[in-house]
Amino acid sequence: MFETDVLEVPQSARTGSLPAESSVRTLLHDVHERYRDLQEGAVADYIPVLAEADPDLFAVSLAEAAGPMHTAGDTSALFTIQSISKAFVLALVTDAIGHESVHEIVGVNNTGLPFNSVIALELNNGSPMNPMVNAGAIATTALMPGRDGAAKFEAIQEGLSAFAGRPLRIDETVLESESASNHRNRGIADLLTSYDRLRIPAEDALDAYTRQCSLLVTSDDLAVMGATLAAGGVNPRTGRRVVSAEVCRDTLAILASCGMYELSGEWMFEIGLPAKSGVSGGIVAVAPGKGAVGVFSPPLDRAGNSVRGLRTCAYLSRALGLNLFASPSP
C-alpha cells in the first residue's frame, strides 16, 4: 500500500497541538513538490465521465480546528465527493436518530470485503454491517429525515453544505453518468429491500444516494468538513455547530475501523488517522482536536484510493505528528 519513501519521512513526536502556521505551510508545499510528478495509478473509469478527469491535478489542503487554512496545488479544482459523502451523511443521521439506532439498523463492523460487495449482505442476513460500504450508505441515506427520497436528499445537501461552510451543488453530468451505470448499486438496494432494511422504496433511496455522491467539492471543502468533525462538530470556517461532539466521536470511530474499506487496518497501521476516500480521487483524513487534511488527485490504486493522496496523508501524518497512536519518546 505504501512505498518506502514515506517511511523515510522523519517521525514527529508532536501529539498535542499543530506546529506554527509557517511550518505547516512549508510542509504542505514540500509534500506537493514531492509527489506532484508521481505517475502511478489509473483514473476511475467504471463511471464513464470520471475517466475524463485530468490525472495531473493534485491539491492538498489542511484546515485547522482552530480556523487557519493551509493549501498547495490545484485547490480550486472541483470534483464530485463520491463515497466521502458517506462519512458526513452518517454524522447527520446519527445526529437525527441517535447512536443506538444507527448501531442496530446499519451496523459498525468492517465487512473485510470490497465496498460494493453483494456477498457481504447475504453472509450477514441482510445487515449492511457498516455505513461506509455501499449497502450501508444506501441504508443510511434512507434514514435521513424527510418523507421521500427528494426530501431526504434536500436534507443531505443542506447538511453537507453546512459541513463545508458553503452551498454545494450537483454535477449534473456526473449524476447522469452514475445513474446510467449503477447497476450493482441497484441490485444492492433491491436486496436491502428484500431484507426489510430500507424505510423508503429502493429506487428513491438509490436516487438520493447517487445525488449525494454527485455533489461538487474542492480539497479545501474536504479539509473544512473534516475539521468540523475534528472540532467536535463546530465548523471552523463559519463558527456554526453542525452536529454534536458525541456524533463526531461516533463518526470518527467508524471511519477508523471502516473508512478505507478492506484496507482500513493497513491504513490505521501506517497512518493512524480516521479517513475516507472517494473514487474521484479525494481523501479526507481527520486528526481529532487538531484539524483535517483534504487531498485531491484522480489516479487511483487497485483498491480505489488516490495514489498521491495516500502518500500525502502518510507524509503529513508522520511529519506533523498526527497519528492517533503516536506518543513522544521519554
pLDDT value, residue 329: 55
**Residue 178 annotated as binding site:** yes
Has 64 been labeled as part of a binding site? no
Q: What is the pTM of this model?
A: 0.90
**What confidence score (pLDDT) does residue 101 get?**
78
Asked if 35 and 312 touch (Cβ cutoff 8 Å), the reply is yes
At 123 the pLDDT is 44
Which residues participate in catalysis according to the annotation?
83, 86, 209, 261, 279
Annotated binding residue 46: no
125 labeled binding residue? no
| 158 known ligand binder | no
Give residue 215's pLDDT.
98
Q: How far apart are CA 312 and CA 117, in angstroms?
A: 28
What pLDDT is stored for residue 135 in this prediction? 83
Ordered domains of the chain (ranges, CATH): 4-80+218-320 (3.40.710.10), 83-213 (3.40.710.10)
In degrees and rounded to multiples of 5, residue 220 shows phi and psi of -60, -45
Return the pLDDT at 122.
47
Q: pLDDT (tens digit, 0 to 9) for every residue of the chain, 330 residues total?
A: 555 466 566 665 455 578 788 889 999 999 999 999 999 999 998 888 999 999 999 999 999 999 999 999 999 999 999 999 999 999 999 999 888 777 676 655 554 445 555 554 544 455 555 677 788 888 889 889 999 999 999 999 999 999 999 999 999 999 999 899 888 888 878 777 776 778 889 899 999 999 999 999 999 999 999 999 999 999 999 999 999 999 999 999 989 988 887 788 889 998 999 999 999 999 999 999 999 999 999 999 888 899 999 999 999 999 998 999 876 655
User: Is 261 labelled a binding residue?
Assistant: yes
